[in-house]
Amino acid sequence: MDRPVITRFAPSPTGLLHLGHAYAAKVAHDLASQSGGKMILRIDDIDHTRCRDIFTTQIFNDLDWLGLNWYSSASDAQSGRNAPRQSQRMPAYQAALKTLQDKGLVYPCYLSRRELNELLSAPHAPPASQIDENISAAAPASVIANTDQLLSQKEQARRHAAGQGAAWRLRMDAAIDMALGKNVGRRNDGSGHDGETLSWFDHLAGRQIADPAQFGDVVIARADIAVSYHLSVVIDDALDGVTLVTRGDDLAASTHLHRLLQALFALSVPDYCHHALVLDQAGKRLAKRDSAHSLEMMRQMHDDPSSLFGKMPPMPAVNLHGNA
């Protein structure tokens, strides 16, 4: 990258931040600072059933205590003001979903997770009253596909009339065909996709070839909040002008799907850096429910947050001026 790097730290205000969040924020902050860039703070609060304003306030307090400057946009001249919130971007997510609907790339799924698991694992055909007669077998449980065909049109109409919401699933095969059938997506350096494949550059893992088919017909918009993490994060990163996505390596696999969505919306493709996670003594990733690791508690115990940095993994060795 030959221009200032724009990263983002996007926590969800569903609980207190812990040491793992502090490391993720520091990675995003430091990599941006190395190039004279900026770290954008985005509040991922689309899950209204779990998000709380008090945790948003704690996020601000934690970052201030850690000494990590953040910005609300790439053009913002002053740090620490008005972090963008996902809850304010629902119209953008709905517009993106409509684009996929208009292209015939998504379909409504009225099946609950329990129903879907039962149908896909049943040794015999599901009840004829609910399943289309022309469906002879369900999709393999490992790859969910065409779940709209598991319910008859009559049963889908009945559930819709009864007020039951539907999740929207991406019709994966059609989406991949459309993405590879035209000049879609462009990297920050201006290049397109790699021949008949989609790819991205990870500064720790190198050039990666996208294989979104492994996800099957993934949920793009949940029935309860009308969007999903996958759709919202792709739209958010584009809106925020993010050029380098830094996040834990537990989310590396999701990039296969995100790269496909970027292609379908013809969005610029950021670089990535999927870094190590902070683990507890048992080797497990930290969780918000474990209050013993919360930054709030650590603030009460330490006047100087520099003592925490020694408990973190080393900063990723990233050359921001070279990719392939």
pLDDT for residue 1:
58
Place of tokens 């930054």: 295
CA distance 36 to 3: 9
CA distance 261 to 264: 5
pLDDT for residue 261:
97
- Is it the case that residue 200 has pLDDT exceeding 60? yes
100-124 mean pLDDT: 85
Residue 257: its H or E element: helix 254-264
267 domain residue, yes or no: yes
Domain boundary among 127, 145, 164: 164
Nearest Cα to Cα of residue 312 among 100, 84, 49, 22: 22
213 domain residue, yes or no: yes
What is the per-residue pLDDT across 202-246, written as a single tens digit (0 to 9) for each? 999 999 999 999 999 999 999 989 899 999 999 999 999 999 999
What is the per-residue pLDDT across 88-97, written as a single tens digit (0 to 9) for each? 999 999 999 9
Same domain, 21 and 133: no
pLDDT for residue 313:
84
323 domain residue, yes or no: no
Same domain, 58 and 38: yes
CA distance 101 to 141: 25
CA distance 296 to 61: 9
- For the chain, the average pLDDT equals 85
Domain boundary among 124, 140, 164: 164
CATH number for the domain spanning 81: value is 3.40.50.620
Same domain, 87 and 126: no
19 domain residue, yes or no: yes
- Is it the case that residue 301 has pLDDT exceeding 50? yes
Same domain, 74 and 188: yes
CA distance 238 to 93: 12
CA distance 42 to 71: 9
Which of residues 129 and 41 earns the better pLDDT score? Answer: 41
Domain boundary among 137, 164, 191: 164
Which of residues 114 and 233 earns the better pLDDT score? Answer: 233
Judge whether 194 and 269 are in contact, CB under 8 Å: no
- Going from the C-alpha of 157 to that of each of 35, 134, 219, 241, the distances in angstroms are 55, 18, 20, 41
CA distance 8 to 13: 15
pLDDT for residue 184:
43
pLDDT for residue 128:
35
The type of residue at 143 is V
- Is it the case that residue 315 has pLDDT exceeding 80? yes
Which of residues 188 and 150 earns the better pLDDT score? Answer: 150
Residue 116: its H or E element: helix 113-121
11 domain residue, yes or no: yes
Same domain, 183 and 242: yes
At residue 141 the predicted structure's pLDDT band, cuts being 50, 70 and 90, is very low
Same domain, 140 and 257: no
pLDDT for residue 48:
86
Retrieve residue 184's tokens: 């879609």
Would residue 21 be called left, alpha or beta, if left means φ above 0 and alpha means ψ between -120 and 50 degrees?
alpha
Place of tokens 């996800």: 215
Give how many domains the chain has, as a whole number: 2
Q: DSSP letter for 81, please.
A: S
- Is it the case that residue 174 has pLDDT exceeding 70? yes
Nearest Cα to Cα of residue 149 among 137, 140, 166, 141: 137
At residue 130 the predicted structure's pLDDT band, cuts being 50, 70 and 90, is very low
Same domain, 259 and 185: yes
- Is it the case that residue 139 has pLDDT exceeding 60? no
What is the per-residue pLDDT across 37-80, written as a single tens digit (0 to 9) for each? 999 999 999 988 899 999 999 999 999 999 999 999 999 887 87
Same domain, 11 and 148: no
276 domain residue, yes or no: yes
Place of tokens 């971007």: 89
Place of tokens 């902050």: 29
321 domain residue, yes or no: no
pLDDT for residue 285:
79
The type of residue at 115 is E
Same domain, 182 and 305: yes
Same domain, 284 and 190: yes
CA distance 286 to 277: 8
273-296 mean pLDDT: 80
pLDDT for residue 126:
44
pLDDT for residue 288:
72
180 domain residue, yes or no: yes
Judge whether 139 and 114 are in contact, CB under 8 Å: no
Determine the structural domain holding residue 146 and report its residue range.
111-164
Same domain, 190 and 142: no
What is the per-residue pLDDT across 23-37, written as a single tens digit (0 to 9) for each? 999 999 999 999 899
Same domain, 45 and 128: no
Q: Please tell me the total number of residues recorded for the chain in this structure.
A: 324
